[in-house]
Amino acid sequence: MNIKDFVAKGHNKKIVLLIAIGLVIGGVRHFYPSMLESYVGVVNAPLTYSNSEPLSERAFENLAETLTHEYRFNRAMAKTKDEDVAFARRLKVDMFMNTRSFDKKAPFPHIDYFRKAGINQYEGPETCLGCHDVIKIADRHGKTVEIDTLDDVVNSVHFKFQSSDSGFSTFGFDGRQVNGEGTRPIPVGKINRACGVPGSFTWTGWADLVKAKPEHAHGDIEMRSEGCGQCHIGGGYHPSTEQMLPAHNAPATAKEGIDCLICHSPTYDMNQRYVIEDDNGKRWNQDRSMKAALTVGQPTMETCLFCHQHNMGGDLEKGLAKGAAPDNLGYKNKRLLHPGSKRGNSIQPAHDVHAAAGMACTDCHRPEGHKIPRGTKGVDLVANDLPGKVVECETCHTAAPHVKDNEDRALLNGHVDRVSCEACHIKKLRDDSVVLRDWTHPIWNEEEGVFVFKDIYQSGEVGKGIKFLWFNGNGSFLANALGDNPIGDGSYNPLMNQLARIDNPEVIAEVRKSAIELKKTYPDIDVEQYVKEATNPLSVLSPEMLEKRKKMIEENIRPIMEKGKSKIYPFKIFNAIMYEDMNNQGPFGAMILPFDYPTYYETGDSKASVKKAIEHPIIKRMYQAPFKAYMMDEFMGYFGVDGWKAEYPVGKDGELKNVESHWMRQMGSLMVNHGIQKDGRSCKECHKPDGIIDFKALGYPKERAAELINLPELE
């Protein structure tokens, strides 16, 4: 029977149709990903790592022996740390090392597993999944469920840095909850959140090589690594862009790049984390050595801090654990350190009572598989893997946490209803916490041999780097804590007051000092104007814009401030001056434009750096119709701007068009929850005239505010 007969038979039309559909689907499945790849300008290619080498049996055993010995030696050293006499300590360590019961259990069970399975080379996720293709996890209801491990990781925020689901505690300035009711869900999170701290964002600043001329090299060029990818667990040439695009998943090659060991191996070598360049582009190297693989286990404080040191104590913190990221910058192409810490919220034992107690991060952030809870509160636009799962002091410390038998415990507990634990138990952040950062006027750094941003003002002090705000767990789209005084007189308005203005004269003086310093390099700077804009960013808004802002706050934001239960929390405040696309300006700020790191660090030409960064295909796509419709309009709605004006900000002459440098119209407020000190504040720090809390500004009625600063009991 030939084809004609086959078709002629009529009833076989269906089969032909099915084949046609199959062909189309097959074609789409094959071509669609590569179409998308070329559309957004990303590359996927098989990833290889030079340190993933097979070990001989003998080398394996030697390594196993060394690792076990090192582990036991470190324990013995820790146990004898109070012994002052060096010789005595050495003897004691020896004794411990020869004591059977001191460590009978093998510290690294995977040594034996690998030995038995004949694994002598670590080849990334493939090796792990050989045994752990599925894992059993306890879900929120305590039920044990079996899940696919790779799937779990690929869909975790740690891999994709975004979510299209609901569960954000973030509200747009248009009053809508991000991806909540009345929205068209879009993928949002760290991946596409332009942010003033790093000055760029993940798409344009993933992995870069910078030519530095450090002091010690005497004019020679040394390569430096920089980019968001240094902390993220994907290993490709770009962040996991694919998962943001419609009907598309992370490609297999991207999954092969997942860095399991950076979380699971306490002996992970951060010196392996540097940018490498091959035919397909630049990406971040990983430690795929057998040494790291043999020590795998549950994440510890140290493994979490490989990345999170950056947003806890910061890159300049000293006295960190052995192997910590800032002390191990790379065997080559050393990573650039970031001065001016984001939160200055140290979680080292000296500064944090929980770290001192030897707790692991996951004791409070109790994971479900590879999904790690960040709690129900959050001011920023970071996706939440486990919305609704609480991470609170109260879980362990109960609602009556002050237990010492002193006469004030009841009163201290009484404060719990209105005051967060953090307000009293985080007294100070690190001094190098950045409050105001200028990206537009880079300064040559002699020592590093690169141009760097200028931190106009740094402080971890209350009233300077820390502000107290009412907080009900929700934040605005530009990271402003939302909440309201439960007995307030309606005057509390942080978006017009606390977060929109710096009025501490000491701070203003410091800002002026920095401006004068900048003027040496940039003579065009008008110091007074500069100080005014930095400390009062609302001053650049037109009167109409200001009116619109007030209206939007009252209509859209006030109802969210009044939601739920508010308490007073401390917030690390932050603002940055960057280039903005003024076509997309609203009352709360305009779309900020990213910097290209190499141009910025090498030439110090901030405008040229912006121009270079926005040449990135994905930024060009952002300024085109499909992306506008797919997500930008919705995104700008949250931003407080009516629709995305997709006019590419470079003119025909090749110069930036409609681009101005501005501070964001209000300061961001970053939650600080770590660096918890055992002893809280004393009553009089707050309850006195000119105390650290301005009760009037927090919306207390006049009489109540007067009462609160003048308590007869404290006399």
Partner 1 sequence: MNSWPAKITIETVKSIFFQTLISAIFFTFFLLLANAGEANSQQNGKCLRCHGMKTLGYQDTATGNLRNLSIDLHALAKSDHAGLACLDCHSAGFAAYPHFSEARNEQLECLSCHKNSEKFPRKMFEAVERSFTRSNHYQSAPQALTCFSCHDPHTFSTLNGKSDAGVKSHVKRDNDICLGCHEKSKPLDNMSSGGAGDLLKKHVWLPGVNRHLQSVRCVECHTQGDSERSHFILGGEYAVKECVACHSRDSILTSKLYRYRAHEERNKVGFIHSVVMNDAYIIGMTRNQWLDWGGIGLVILTLVGVGGHGLGRWIARRKGQKL
Kindly state the number of chain residues that form the binding site for partner 1, as judged by CB under 8 A: 20
683 binds partner 1 (CB under 8 A): no
* Alpha helices by DSSP H, 237-309: 252-256, 261-264, 290-294, 301-308
Residues 571, 671: contact at Cβ < 8 Å? yes
Looking at 408, 526, 554, 660, which residue binds partner 1 (CB under 8 A)? Answer: 408
- Eight-class DSSP state of 434: E
Q: Which of 263, 416, 672, 698 binds partner 1 (CB under 8 A)?
A: 416
Q: Which H or E element spans position 417?
A: none
In the bound state with partner 1, the residue whose beta carbon lies nearer, of 367 and 483, is 483
Cα–Cα distance measured from residue 338 to residue 452, given in angstroms and rounded to the nearest whole number: 9
Instruction: Report CA torsion sign: 81, 84, 86, 92.
Output: negative
- What distances in angstroms separate CA 422 from CA 356, 375, 499, one per listed residue? 17, 15, 19
Can residue 248 be called a binding residue for partner 1 (CB under 8 A)? Answer: no
**In this chain, which of 365, 409, 428, 657 binds partner 1, going by CB under 8 A?**
409
Counted residue by residue, the chain has a size of 715
CA 65 to chain centre: 37
What letter represents residue 714's amino acid?
A: L
Among 115, 248, 282, 418, binds partner 1 (CB under 8 A): 418
Q: Could you give the residue ranges of the DSSP H alpha helices within 371-503?
A: 393-397, 409-415, 421-425
Contact characters 116-155, partner 1, x per CB under 8 A: ----------------------------------------
CB of 320 or CB of 709, closer to partner 1: 709
- Give the span between the Cα atoms of 72 and 66, in whole angstroms: 10
Centre a 10 Å sphere on the Cβ of residue 86 and count the other Cβ atoms it contains: 8
Comparison of 408 and 647: residue with beta carbon closer to partner 1: 408
Tokens 């690390």: give the residue.
572
In the block, residue with structure tokens 């869909």: 155
| Shortest distance (Å) from residue 713 CB to partner 1 | 4
Per-residue contact string for residues 619-658; x = within reach of partner 1 by CB under 8 A: ----------------------------------------
- Identify which of residues 142 and 712 has a Cβ nearer to partner 1 in the complex: 712
Judged by CB under 8 A, which of 413, 491, 536, 658 binds partner 1? 413
What string marks each residue from 696 to 715 as x (binds partner 1 by CB under 8 A) or -? -----------x----xx--
Q: What 3-state DSSP class applies to 256?
A: helix
| Nearest distance in Å: CB 191, partner 1 | 40
- 688 lies in the binding site for partner 1 (CB under 8 A): no
CB 467 → partner 1: shortest distance, Å? 24
Decide: is 513 part of the binding site for partner 1 (CB under 8 A).
no
Binding to partner 1 in span 345-404, by CB under 8 A: 398-400, 402-403
Taking the C-alpha atoms of residue 196 and residue 592, their distance in angstroms, rounded to an integer, is 8
| Structural contact between residues 537 and 529, judged by C-beta atoms closer than 8 angstroms | no
7 belongs to the binding site for partner 1 (CB under 8 A): no
Q: Are strands 434-445 and 567-586 parallel, antiparallel or unpaired?
A: parallel
- For residues 3 and 399, which CB has a smaller minimum distance to partner 1 in the complex? 399
Cβ-based nearer residue to partner 1, 12 or 413: 413
Is 5 near partner 1 (CB under 8 A)?
no
Contact between 86 and partner 1 per CB under 8 A: no
Which residue reads 């009529």 in tokens? 10
Q: Which residues bind partner 1 (CB under 8 A)?
A: 398-400, 402-403, 405, 407-411, 413-418, 707, 712-713
